[in-house]
């Protein structure tokens, strides 16, 4: 039954990709978050060039404001709780929105002009939240305390979406977070000898339950925004469900079963992850074929994993409601 469903899933993707060659729904794409990969693959699916980073030139088809380690909450939130950001940069969601507003001033001179300019643009707002929680959890904060961070994190995401809508955005995709308990970093840092701490996918139950808490709150916030802005397409993308589908269909997708909880770029231990010697450090090796791996460095996924996730989103899987691909225009590529 699973194979039959997946065959149908692949068939739908193939049909959509063929149709996409004849026309594309969007003329620009704007990315916010901490990963460059998803927005690049989403752009490719819509036959758009990858959006250029904010500080680069040639931004005719959109801009990528994403930066590694970006958080939904500002630095002051962490400082008051004596939490240090795992990444040295100070990049936040507020900062990325400010950069977008500055950029907007360079491409349109009036609100009406901006609305017209952004009518056929798509916005990928996230993923946000995982870095906020990881900053706290990896520095000893208990889940019972971090539970209280969910409300301000989701509020920050909701406020950012509202600001983009008020600026003229009408097509927005807002992802939830991955199942944190499946990441090699979490599996290493919080290894437990009790088999009941793990689910059938060998992921830590408690952290996955927490991730679902965030995602549930985010979906409710987006539901409220749809009521407030009925003319705007606000799509929730479930990274959680898309990721679990990768694990479930790993053999059909070409991922090695033995690598499903291991980092491609890393060293040591059951999960090929060492917090003191992470990917990019001297002496840390990279797997020979990353297309066989789901995880890249213990925190992020591989390009291959992101490609399959985006294919799922475009096909209408793991997105709520489905992305409406109306008003298609000629492909740029």
Give domain status of residue 281, yes or no: no
- Note the pLDDT of residue 2: 41
Give domain status of residue 211, yes or no: yes
| Residue corresponding to tokens 């301000």 | 152
Instruction: List the CATH number of the domain containing 178.
Output: 3.40.50
- Note the pLDDT of residue 328: 35
Contact 93, 128 (CB under 8 A): yes
- Note the pLDDT of residue 17: 41
Residue 79 CB-density burial (10 A; 0-12 exposed, 13-18 middle, 19+ buried): exposed
- Note the pLDDT of residue 124: 96
- Note the pLDDT of residue 228: 98
Which residues are within 8 A (CB) of 117 and not within 5 positions of it... i.e. 6 or more apart?
A: 107, 108, 168
Give domain status of residue 231, yes or no: yes
| Residue corresponding to tokens 């088809």 | 61
Polymer length of the chain: 333
Contact 214, 150 (CB under 8 A): yes
- Note the pLDDT of residue 167: 97
Residue 58: which region, alpha, beta or left (left: phi > 0; alpha: psi -120 to 50)?
Answer: left
Give domain status of residue 225, yes or no: yes
Look at the chain and report how many structural domains it folds into. 1
Contact 266, 296 (CB under 8 A): no
Contact 281, 325 (CB under 8 A): no
Average pLDDT along the chain, 333 residues, taken 10 residues at a time: 40 40 73 86 88 85 92 94 80 96 94 94 96 96 98 99 98 98 98 97 98 99 98 97 98 96 96 94 94 96 95 91 60 34
- What is the Cα–Cα distance from 203 to 85, expressed in whole angstroms? 25
Give domain status of residue 314, yes or no: yes
Contact 284, 278 (CB under 8 A): yes
Domain hosting residue 46, numbered range? 2-253+303-320
Give domain status of residue 172, yes or no: yes
Give domain status of residue 330, yes or no: no
- What is the Cα–Cα distance from 156 to 201, expressed in whole angstroms? 31
Q: At what angle do helices 93-107 and 111-118 cross, to 10 degrees?
A: 100
- What is the Cα–Cα distance from 222 to 66, expressed in whole angstroms? 21
- What is the Cα–Cα distance from 319 to 16, expressed in whole angstroms? 16
Residues annotated as catalytic are 35, 297, 300
Give domain status of residue 298, yes or no: no
Q: Is the pTM of this model over 0.85?
A: yes
Tokens in use for 260?
Answer: 């499903």
Tokens in use for 272?
Answer: 């090929």
CA angle 26, 51, 73 (to 5 degrees): 100
């Amino acid at each position: 039954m699973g194979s039959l469903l997946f065959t149908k899933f692949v068939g739908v993707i193939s049909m959509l990709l063929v149709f996409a060659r004849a026309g594309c729904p969007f003329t620009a794409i704007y990315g916010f978050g901490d990963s460059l990969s998803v927005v690049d693959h989403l752009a490719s699916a819509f036959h758009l060039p990858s959006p250029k980073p904010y500080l680069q030139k040639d931004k005719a088809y959109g801009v990528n404001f994403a930066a590694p380690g970006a958080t939904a909450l500002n630095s002051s939130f962490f400082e008051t709780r004596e939490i240090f950001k795992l990444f040295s940069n100070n990049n936040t969601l507020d900062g990325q929105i400010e950069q977008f507003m500055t950029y907007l001033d360079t491409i349109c001179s009036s609100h009406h002009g901006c609305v017209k300019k952004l009518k056929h643009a798509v916005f990928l707002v996230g993923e946000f939240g995982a870095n906020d929680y990881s900053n706290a959890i990896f520095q000893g904060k208990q889940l019972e305390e971090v539970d209280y961070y969910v409300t301000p994190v989701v509020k920050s995401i909701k406020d950012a979406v509202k600001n983009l809508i008020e600026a003229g955005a009408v097509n927005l995709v807002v992802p939830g977070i991955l199942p944190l308990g499946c990441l090699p970093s979490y599996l290493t840092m919080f290894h437990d000898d009790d088999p009941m701490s793990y689910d059938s996918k060998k992921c830590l139950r408690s952290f996955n339950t927490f991730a679902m808490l965030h995602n549930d709150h985010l979906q409710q916030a987006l539901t409220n925004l749809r009521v407030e802005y009925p003319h705007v397409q606000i799509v929730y993308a479930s990274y959680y469900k898309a990721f679990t589908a990768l694990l479930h269909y790993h053999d059909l997708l070409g991922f090695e079963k033995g690598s499903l909880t291991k980092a491609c770029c890393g060293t040591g231990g059951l999960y090929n992850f060492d917090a003191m010697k992470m990917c990019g450090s001297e002496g840390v090796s990279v797997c020979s074929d990353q297309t066989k791996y789901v995880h890249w460095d213990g925190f992020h996924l591989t390009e291959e994993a992101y490609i399959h996730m985006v294919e799922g989103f475009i096909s209408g899987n793991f997105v709520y409601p489905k992305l409406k691909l109306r008003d298609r225009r000629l492909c740029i590529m």
